[in-house]
Each structure stands twice: as C-alpha cells, then as structure tokens.
A and B are shown apart, each in its own frame.
Chain A
Amino acid sequence: MDVSFSYLNACLAVLLAWGAIGLAGMIRPRSLGIAARTLFPLGALCGIALAVLAVLSIATPAERAVLPLGLPDLPFHVRRDPLASVFLALLGAASAGISIFSTGYFRKGEGALPGLLCLEYHVFLASMGLVLLADDAYAFMVAWETMALSSYFLVTTQHRIPEIRSAGFLYLLIAHVGAISILLSFGVMQGGSWQFTFDAMRAAHLSPGWATVAFGLAMFGFGAKAGLVPLHVWLPEAHPAAPSPVSALMSGVMLKTAVYGVLRVSFDLLGTPQWWWGLVALGLGLLSAFYGVIFAAVQTDMKRLLAWSSIENVGVIFTGVGLTIVFHGSGMGALAALALIATLYHCLNHAFMKSVLFLGTGSVLHATGERNLGRLGGLIHRMPWVAWLTLIGVLAIAGLPPLNGFVSEWLLLQAFLFAGDVPRTFVNMLLPVGAAVVALCTALAGYVMVKFFGVIFLGQPREAALAGAHDAGLVERLGLLWLALGCVGLGLFPVQVIETLDVVARDLLKLPAGRWGGDWWLLAPAAARHAAYGPLALFGVTLIVVALAGLGVRAVYRRRVRRGPAWDCGFVRLDARMQDTAEGFGQPIRHVFEPFFQMVRELPTPFDFAPRYRVTVGDRLWTLLYLPLGATVRWTADRVARLQQGRIATYLLYSFVTLIALLALVL
C-alpha cells in the first residue's frame, strides 16, 4: 500500500482517526471531561474533514487499495468511487453536527461509562465509513457487523431498563437475519469463481435467474437494515431506546448505508438490473412510505413518531430506487439519472432533517425528562432556540418550499411525471398511481409534523414541571444550527448539489456526460420550459412580500397591541387539559385508515366517577407475521432440543453414527 496522497488514503486516515479517538476514550473511561470536551469535538472535526474530502473527490475517478488487514490470504480491498463519495460526504457532514451536539449532550454519562460510549460511538462512525469503502465481501461484512454491534451497544446504553434491553435484542436479531441474507447474496454473486472481491462479482456473469436471487437476497438484507415494511418492526423500538444523538446517527446515516448497499449491488455488482426488480423496490417503497406515515400520525411518543417517519422516508427513497431500476432497465437513461438523483438527494436531505428532529427531541428530553407527547407543550417559550431550529427541520421534512425536503419531492414527482414513455403499458398505468401515493404520503407527513411540533412546542404546558425547562446549551445549539443550515442550504442551492450528484448518477448508470437545463439559480431537469424550480427567486419574492406586508402594516397601523387572557369564545376557565392531545390529533387518521391499525380502546361507562379513556394502537403485522413466526421458531427449537439428552453416552452415540454415515458416504 503506497502512502502518497489520494482521496482514498485521506478518507481512510479519517476513519483511522475516528478509531483512535474511540480508543483514547478508554484511557480514562470514567472521565466525562476528556470524552465530552476533547474527544467528541475532535470527532466532529474528523467528520468535517471527511465531508470536505468526499465532496472534493466526487468528480475524480475511482481509486482502490489493498489494506494490510484481514486474514493472510484474504486482505481487505477498499475502493472509493463517486457513489461512495456521496455517502461519505453524508456521513461526514451529518455526523459532524451530531458529534458537536453530543459534546453537550452526554453530560450525565447516560448509563454507560462516558469513555465506553465514546469508543462505541466512534467505532460506529468508522465502521459506517468502512462499509462505504469496502471492495470485497469480507471487508464489507466485517464492517457491516461492526456497525451492527457497535450500534447495538449504543442502543442499549441504558441497559438496566428491561424495555431497552428487549428493544436492543430485537434490533440485533433483525440486523443479523439481514446480515445472513446479505452474505448469501454475496455468495450467489461470486458466480462460481470463489473470489469474493467486488471486482470478481462485477466480472461474473450471472444467469438472469441467479441474478434475481442475488437481488432478492440483497433487498431482504438491506431492507432489514433500512426498515422496509415488513422488516421495519425494530425501528420504532430501537430509536426511542437509544440516546438521541445515537437515534439521529442511526436514522440519519446508518439507514442510508442500506440504500448504498442496494445501489451498489443492483447497479454495480450485478451490472444491469432487470427492469421488473424496480417494480418490487417501488412497491415495497410505496408500502413503507404509506405505512410509516400513517403510523407516525398516531404515535404518542415523540421519538417513536420520528422512527415511523424514518420508515416513511426510507420508503420514499426506495421508491426512487425502484423508479431508477425501472427506467434503467427500460433503456431510458436520462430519466433513470433523474430518479437516481432524486433518490440520492432525498438521502442527503433525510440525513440532515431527521438529525435535527432527533437532536431536538434530545434537548427536550434533557430539559423535561419526558418523551410522552401528552406531558409536553408550550416549550417554544422555554426553549426558543431548540424550537425554532426544530421548526426548520419540521418544515423541511414536511416537504415545504423553499427547504430541502421539497426539492427531492419535486425531483421524484418530475421523474414520475415524465415517465410516460416506458415501453410497457401496464407500468405506464401503474406509475401515476405511485405518484399519487407519494403525493399522499407527503401531505400526510405535513400532518404528522404539525402534530409533532404543535404538541411539543406550542400551546400551554401540559405539566407544571415544564415551567422549569431550560434551553439547550451553546454547543448543542451549534450542532442543531449546523444541521438546520444544511437543510436550508440544500433547499436553496439545489442546482449546485445536483450538478455534483449528476456525476455520480452518470458514473453509476454508465451514461455519457450530459448537461442539465436551467441556470445557477434555476433547477430544470429537461428544458426549462417543461419544468423549472428556482427556490432562491421564489423564497426571495415571498420574503419581500412578507417584509413589505409587515412594514406596510406597521406604517399604517396606529392602534395598540396589548396582552390579555385567551379569548376561546369567551370561555374563562381555560386550562391545559382542554388542548388537543397527541391521541386527539391522530384521531382523524385512526378514523380514515382504521383497517390498518390494531386498536384497543378503553372507554368509560356513563357511571364512571373517574372516567378514563385510553386507546393503544398496535401494528397488525406484529400479530399477523412476527408472533406466529416467533411461535414457529420456538416450536422447532423445542423439537430440536429433544436431541439434547444431557448424557455423554448419547452424544458419543451421535458422533459414532455420524462417523459411520460419513464413512458410508465417502466409501
């Protein structure tokens, strides 16, 4: 391995630095000062460095290296290409904000030792980086498993609470079922060469049947990590269990490694995907998007709500992946590039906006000790910084212009709209229905986010204890600000981002270099005549109108502004319990989409002196799929357990029989 400068070496150096920072935490594991004041800020600096390196390297050709790590005959191969660079940039930029925030967040040690937390956190970051750089199945799986294990330990930081332990177990279980599937997928892709480098897989020409098997296994494995329905069940359990920066990292960044995996397998390792695989990804994506958003709307725990919202966003991303495969497989290069850019853009957007939201809930959790929406409210007065910065994330994830969520939604809808010429009629008929589902999910995301922000930050405090809530500290604000500025920047300057992503898309889809229409401020996928979006102009005009209206009214208006009790139609004994609750706000969704929910209602009778109303909403898939599956596994395990007698003679007999059988087979 040569040590001259290359972007690949520099990126590897950053990952190494992360590892070193993690180990440094173990020198004095009980010292909070070292971990919080020195190591996490250093980690954030490494993140920024990685983001800068990755952005600079996007347009450069692929680089590769062989690391002196691994088994004697099986060294780690690494490779950086434009696709890896995009995801490395995402990892670096998002983790920088989260690390800055963590500096202030892990004040009390959160259950585990601060130094240990620091180790797990930075190993998690480094392993995600290695997943993106790995160029053989061995390195990939090692990194993938390290990522799963380190994040498992982070999720179970407060391991003394039984719910958190069981949430962690569920996460670990599904992560490993997924990992096995990915491993099998690599096994299929080596195509008889028994070489597990990605180069060998690129060179192997699989028959369409085997390629489909490999794709299916990869979709299952990566889908489990991404949280595609029906493999989503771990997300709403693990995210509330983990400390907020970890939730942000898992939701914002780790889920994207699964997207990276699917893109890498379908477009790079398998070469040319078959077009109908796209329909599978599209269908699963749309299902996840819809399922995620309606469940998000009925949650009463703020972090669980965000976890379901992540399922929705992953669904939108996979919708984009599916669309890309359909277009690519139908020979429509430009549209495939558009859909892929929309997908990558949404990955970036989600990393920023979901991190803002999770960190915002972290600050709320610290200030109030409360995750239940039913006990929050009115925090905009107590925590103005957190509230306004979270509002940016809320507006972004609701897909409102001029922020970033709208840009990727716009691109995705354009890809759907211009799809008219797919050479298969029934696909042509299906795609607009897909667009309708995406539109519905975006509108529902707005509903969810109004509920999220309104119930936590607006209205009256629902508990007296909330009066003592304090705003986030300076470094926490800085972390939030970094991520919120990311949302604004990605929203206002889409052309610059897309020109970069275009390089990646063309490289991955093996298309000739092309040019987008439009201008530096005007985003236009085809000719500007057909569709264009200029967020700067739109935002500028709106801002000018708002300012003019404000100034104009102020100049003309001669009356006073005074404060008084709320009007509420003349009702005088207003108290906080009369506000809509989180359950109440979700009621229309429960009503409209009733068949999807498993509801248990506890209703008071007219004669109750202390009436109680409770409704719990469960996931039907849990009882329909997971409980029977669990029962089957247990039943099988019981049968298998009969083999174990606990007597040495029996085991010797087993060995004897096995030997005889093997001998019979060989002779």
Chain B
Amino acid sequence: MSTLGAITQLLEIVCALLAAPAFLGWVNQCRAWLQNKRAPSVLQPYYGLRKLFHKDVVLAENASSLFRLAPYIVFGTMVAAAAIIPSMGTGLPLSMAADGIALVGLLATARVFLSLAAMDVGTAFGTLGARREMMVGFLAEPALLMVLFVAAMISKTTSLPLIAEGLTTRALGLYPSLAFTAVAFTMVLLAENARIPVDNPATHLELTMIHEAMLLEYSGRHLAMMEWAAALKLFNYACIGFALFIPWGTSTEASGPQGLLLAVPVLFAKLAVAGGGLALIETLSAKLRVFRAPEFLATAFLLAVLGLLVHLLLGD
C-alpha cells in the first residue's frame, strides 16, 4: 500500500462525507432555478443535519434495537461504498478488497437494512415504503449489475479502479454498448435515489412516496444519519457513473500527487454538471404511478442486457 494510495483513500472518504450533502443541495438548487422558484442555499442539507442533531429522538414504543442500529449500518455501508468507488484516484487500497459486484452487494445490504427498519415499528406507511423500496430494488440491482458487467467485459476486470483506468486509456470513441448502459444507469440512478419519475423527494404525499415513507418514524440523530446516508448514496451513484462513463481526470498511480490535486477540482466540475443534468431530468419528467415503476425499471434492466449483447455482437 503506497502512501499516495492511502492519502487518496482518506481524501475520498472525507470528501464524500463532506461534499455529499452539498451535492444534494446543489441538485435541489438547480431544480428550483429550473422551475422558476427561489432556490434554497446549497448549504441547506447541512442546516437540516445540524437541526436534527440538536433535536431529541422520539422512538416508537415498540421499536426494537434493529431500528436503532439500522441508521449506523446504512451510513457505514454507504461510507464503505464511497471508499471503493474511484471518484478521485484509482490507486485505492481498499478497492482491492471489493470489486464492482461487492459494491452492488454493499448497496443491497443498505437497502435491506433500511427496509427492515421501516417494517420494525409496524405502521402502514413504513411497511408500504419497505415493500416499494424492495420492488424498486429487485429490478434496479440486477440492472446496475448488468451495467457493471458491460464495463467489466470491455476492460476484462470487475475491479472498479481498473475499469476506470482501462476506459481512460482507450481511444476516445463512441461505444454503442456503453451508450445503452449509460441510459440504463441513469434510470437506475433516478430510481435508487428516490428521484422523479419513480419517487418524489420533495413531497410528503403518503400514497406516492417510497423513501420518505420508510423514514417516517425516525427522528433526531437517527434521522440525521439516514438523511446523510441518502445524500451519500446519491453522491456514490454519481461517482459510479463518472467512473464508468467519464473517467477522465481521475488520478492514477502514475500521475502522482499532482494528479490527485488536479482530480479534486475535476470531480467537483463533474458533480456540478451532473447535478444540473439530474435537475433537468427531474424537471422535464412527471412522476410515474407506483405501478408503472416496475416497467420503468424493467426497461432499464433490458437496456443494460441489450448493452451487453451489443458488446458481444460488435466486440467493442
């Protein structure tokens, strides 16, 4: 393990922890602008977290220890996921231990714990949210896996840093398979992060919500951890997208400390553009009925499989 690798690793984790709420704030800000509203500050999610950390926790009477443990587990898995995604540099020591498939597994662990916690109190909304979250998950997870498979087949490895490196060093050109999977990935990102058209993060209309329904019983520090984990999840997904589709600008072992210094502003530039794009998609689309969500995700899954077949047919 090189020193530079360790520094990159730490920097990535710290950066993810600190920048994730800002990224969420930025998406919200862009969306407000696009909708001709007065936008909240980019820092609004931080204010929210600070407020929650200053409030009492009210636990439901029949909440079990699973309910109290889940926020930390979800948060922990999201941080671990942030540590293995090559968002800034590819020389990550930890990503040796977990490849793309393990990343999908980690995200699934977070989802399962979130859903179980939502079922713990036994309210109508909580169980409804858990059911819908798992419904979204059972199609989104294989779709994400297929997206990773295409990239893995192109670079002949499932290790994310190597995929990113492999795609950086290839000649610039349009890979049809990657185009398919990019669309699929965007759809998965929207669904998994409770964005329109699958879920609406801005409403508390009980009958349509998914993610918020699961968090209804949380308060105080537990809610803060959950909100922070949700911000981290969005950040992580964005970084997976960068690593798979626009990996240019990340530092490698060869590029040294200068590369790392350059990688930070590059990452922020990518996040800024991606946040704007996300806000645009959310503004342009309408929320689907919950029953239509499986169709949306099945499309994503099939697009990803199509990408795989296109890759095999064309051999690019």
Contact = CB atoms under 8 A, between A and B. Distances in A.
Contacts of A529: 157, 159, 162
A66 interface: no
Contacts of A542: 76-77, 79-80, 106
A588 B162 contact: no
B109 to A, nearest CB: 5
Given A533-B98, A550-B72, A562-B58, A574 B137 contact: no
Contact of A546 (B72, B106, B139, B298): B72
Contacts of B159: 529-532
A439 B145 contact: yes
B57 A420 contact: no
A537 interface: yes
Contacts of A97: none
Nearest to A574: B123
A22 interface: no
Contacts of A455: 119
Nearest to A381: B64
Interface string A430-441: 001101100110
A569 interface: yes
A454 B153 contact: no
A443 B61 contact: no
B55 A410 contact: no
A162 to B, nearest CB: 35
B97 A522 contact: yes
Contact of A561 (B57, B73, B122): B57
Contacts of A531: 99, 157-159
B145 to A, nearest CB: 4
B94 interface: yes
B158 A530 contact: yes
Contact of B102 (A401, A561, A568, A592): A401
Contact of B105 (A399, A440, A444, A536): A399
Given A450-B116, A569-B206, A562 B56 contact: yes
Nearest to A459: B122
Nearest to A584: B131
B149 A432 contact: yes
B66 A435 contact: no
B130 interface: yes
A632 to B, nearest CB: 38
A374 interface: no
B287 interface: no
B93 to A, nearest CB: 9
Interface string B22-65: 00000000000000000000000000000001111111111110
A478 interface: no
A579 B124 contact: yes
B146 A420 contact: no
A249 B105 CA distance: 29
B61 A538 contact: no
B252 to A, nearest CB: 14
Interface string B97-131: 11101100110110110011001111111111011
Given A446-B141, A450-B115, A568 B123 contact: yes
Which of A395, A409, A528, A546 has the largest number of chain B CB atoms within 10 A?
A: A546
Contacts of B60: 563-567
A564 B218 CA distance: 12
A450 B221 contact: no
A559 interface: yes
A657 interface: no
A566 B108 contact: no
B230 interface: no
Contacts of B56: 559-562
A576 interface: yes
Contacts of B61: 563-566
B184 to A, nearest CB: 12
B63 to A, nearest CB: 8
Nearest to A527: B157
Given A398-B112, A537-B97, A591-B291, A566 B131 contact: no
Contacts of B132: 588
Contacts of B57: 559-562
Nearest to B84: A538
Interface in B146-193: 146, 149, 152-153, 156-159, 162
A395 B106 CA distance: 12
A423 to B, nearest CB: 14
A553 B301 CA distance: 39
Contacts of A535: 97
B138 interface: yes
Counting from the closest, the 3 A-B pairs by CB-CB distance are: A459-B122, A534-B97, A580-B127
Interface of A: 377-378, 380-381, 391, 395, 398-401, 406, 409-410, 413-414, 417, 420, 428-429, 432-433, 435-436, 439-440, 442-444, 446-447, 449-451, 453-455, 458-460, 522, 528-538, 541-543, 545-546, 549-550, 553, 556-557, 559-569, 571, 574, 576, 578-580, 584-585, 587-588, 591-592
Given A432-B149, A440-B142, 12 more contacts: A400-B108, A414-B158, A443-B108, A446-B112, A450-B115, A549-B72, A562-B56, A566-B123, A568-B124, A568-B126, A580-B131, A592-B294
Interface of B: 53-64, 66, 72-73, 75-77, 79-80, 83, 94, 96-99, 101-102, 105-106, 108-109, 111-112, 115-116, 119-128, 130-132, 134-135, 137-139, 141-142, 145-146, 149, 152-153, 156-159, 162, 204, 206, 216-217, 219-221, 225, 291, 294, 298, 301, 304-305, 308-309, 312-313
22 contacts: A377-B122, A380-B120, A399-B108, A401-B102, A406-B105, A428-B312, A432-B149, A436-B305, A446-B137, A447-B137, A459-B120, A459-B121, A460-B122, A534-B98, A545-B76, A549-B225, A561-B57, A566-B217, A569-B206, A579-B127, A588-B132, A588-B135
